[in-house]
């Protein structure tokens, strides 16, 4: 009896083992894909071609070039190959990429998605669908708008990084720490689209001559538009320049903001952080002071006065003195107060300038509508359908309270 039972159990166990082995090994649907058989896409560029079709340009890693040791790290060669394809939809273009790449594209490591200006003006919502529907691309991919064609941007180089897309991502990341560009991922873009009363603000990136000087926004800096476009001279090395932002109305690009407006917009929207701000220096010095803004806190109140909206913005700002030229002999307190007042007026002017720009574009990158939507839903109901008009006639009152909390290592400028 026990012998029979034992034989039964043994047979059952053997059968179970056979089934498990057969299903795992014989089924043939093994979705294993070795990492060295993949074409790892690190950067994606999308352009709208004149005929309305899409041009997909990807930076695909060349592993062999990554492995090759650059000569002492200088002048590292590009370790990506540009592979492009066209299609009437993103999906079609992505599939077509396989024919060119020879390896299966892997989208999981795409760090940036650069959208050409034309495509952005035509609207991004439909283009973005594939990136969310497909399983590999990540919602955390950063979104950028190219001033010009995305394809040109994808061809730009970086001296320090072998992977230009990662270099661009790093540049953007550093700009974020000085609040010069908005941090816009695919996911945030989508969320902005679905948030009432808030339009996306996307970092803008231009391609400039490698020799073009970088400059912080300040009193004398030229706006990027006036910088010479580098596409003219073929063969000249080019670099990217992340500065300012693209203003969207819903999913369409409607215009640009320069770096200061972008910064003011971000502070107003409560998502800005540190920044370096140049303000007029002490009276009579003829030079500028520089302060490091450490953090801001914004409060927005919305009211209706005489049939039009009035937004009251109060911004608190903590800052540290970064550079202070020599000025008339005063007390430290007086100096700081002078700096504070000047900082306040510069910031207030920036905010108002940003608001005017947004008004003229009919877009609301601040999320003022969202403030209305959450605080005064009844009021929002009335303006919901004609929000850009309402915004156009709205008034903004800005009060900035700045405080210098640190003076750095010295109290006074050297006399």
Q: Please report, as ranges, the residues that interact with other proteins according to CB under 8 A.
A: 2, 5-6, 9, 13, 24-25, 30-36, 38, 40, 42, 61, 63-64, 66-67, 79, 106, 108-109, 111, 136, 138, 163, 166
Q: Minimum CB separation from other proteins for residue 26, in Å? A: 11
Q: Minimum CB separation from other proteins for residue 181, in Å? A: 20
Tokens in use for 226?
A: 């006036």
- CA 309/CA 397 separation, integer angstroms: 11
Which CB, 59 or 175, lies closer to other proteins? 59
DSSP-assigned letter for residue 73: G
Q: Minimum CB separation from other proteins for residue 77, in Å? A: 14
Q: Minimum CB separation from other proteins for residue 185, in Å? A: 15
Contacts of 304 (CB under 8 A, 6+ apart): 310, 379
Q: Minimum CB separation from other proteins for residue 66, in Å? A: 4
Which CB, 4 or 71, lies closer to other proteins? 4
Which CB, 30 or 220, lies closer to other proteins? 30
Q: Are strands 54-61 and 38-48 parallel, antiparallel or unpaired?
A: antiparallel
**301 has which bridge partners?**
312
Which CB, 39 or 254, lies closer to other proteins? 39
Which CB, 136 or 228, lies closer to other proteins? 136
**225 has which bridge partners?**
none
- CA 320/CA 336 separation, integer angstroms: 10
User: In Å, how far from its chain's centre is CA 14?
Assistant: 58
What are the angstrom distances between the C-alpha of 44 and each of 38, 57, 187, 317, 373?
A: 16, 6, 16, 37, 35
Q: Minimum CB separation from other proteins for residue 73, in Å? A: 15
**300 has which bridge partners?**
313
Cα angle vertex 263, ends 261, 266, to 5°?
110
Which CB, 163 or 247, lies closer to other proteins? 163
């Amino acid at each position: 009896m026990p012998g029979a039972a034992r034989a039964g159990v043994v047979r059952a166990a053997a059968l179970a083992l056979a089934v498990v082995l057969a299903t795992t090994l014989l089924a043939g649907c093994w979705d294993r894909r070795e990492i060295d058989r993949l074409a790892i896409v690190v950067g994606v560029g999308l352009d709208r071609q004149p005929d309305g079709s899409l041009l997909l340009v990807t930076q695909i890693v060349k592993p062999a070039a990554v492995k090759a040791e650059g000569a002492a790290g200088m002048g590292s060669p590009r370790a990506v190959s540009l592979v492009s394809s066209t299609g009437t939809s993103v999906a079609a273009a992505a599939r077509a990429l396989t024919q060119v790449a020879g390896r299966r594209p892997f989208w999981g490591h795409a760090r940036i998605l650069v959208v050409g200006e034309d495509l952005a003006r035509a609207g991004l919502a439909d283009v973005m669908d594939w990136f969310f529907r497909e399983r590999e691309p990540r919602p955390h991919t950063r979104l950028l708008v190219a001033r010009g064609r995305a394809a040109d941007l994808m061809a730009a180089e970086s001296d320090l990084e072998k992977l230009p897309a990662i270099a661009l991502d790093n540049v953007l990341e550093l700009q974020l720490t000085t609040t010069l560009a908005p941090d816009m991922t695919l996911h945030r873009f989508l969320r902005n689209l679905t948030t009432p009363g808030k339009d996306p603000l996307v970092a803008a990136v231009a391609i400039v001559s490698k020799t073009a000087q970088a400059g912080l926004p300040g009193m004398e800096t030229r706006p990027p538009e006036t910088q010479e476009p580098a596409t003219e001279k073929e063969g000249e090395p080019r670099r990217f320049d992340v500065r300012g932002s693209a203003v969207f109305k819903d999913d369409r690009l409607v215009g640009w903001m320069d770096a200061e407006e972008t910064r003011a917009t971000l502070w107003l929207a409560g998502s800005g952080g540190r920044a370096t701000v140049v303000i007029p220096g002490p009276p009579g010095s003829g030079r500028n002071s520089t302060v490091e803004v450490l953090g801001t806190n914004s409060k927005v109140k919305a009211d209706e006065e005489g049939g039009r909206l009035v937004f009251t913005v109060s911004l608190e700002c903590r800052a540290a003195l970064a550079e202070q030229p020599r000025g008339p002999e005063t007390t430290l307190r007086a100096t700081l107060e002078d700096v504070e007042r000047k900082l306040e007026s510069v910031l207030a002017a920036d905010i108002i300038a940003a608001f005017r720009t947004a008004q003229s574009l009919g877009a609301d990158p601040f999320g003022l509508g969202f403030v209305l939507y959450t605080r005064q839903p009844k009021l929002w109901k009335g303006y919901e359908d004609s929000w850009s008009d309402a915004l156009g006639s709205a008034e903004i009152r800005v009060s900035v309270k700045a405080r210098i909390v640190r003076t750095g290592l010295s109290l006074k400028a050297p006399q």
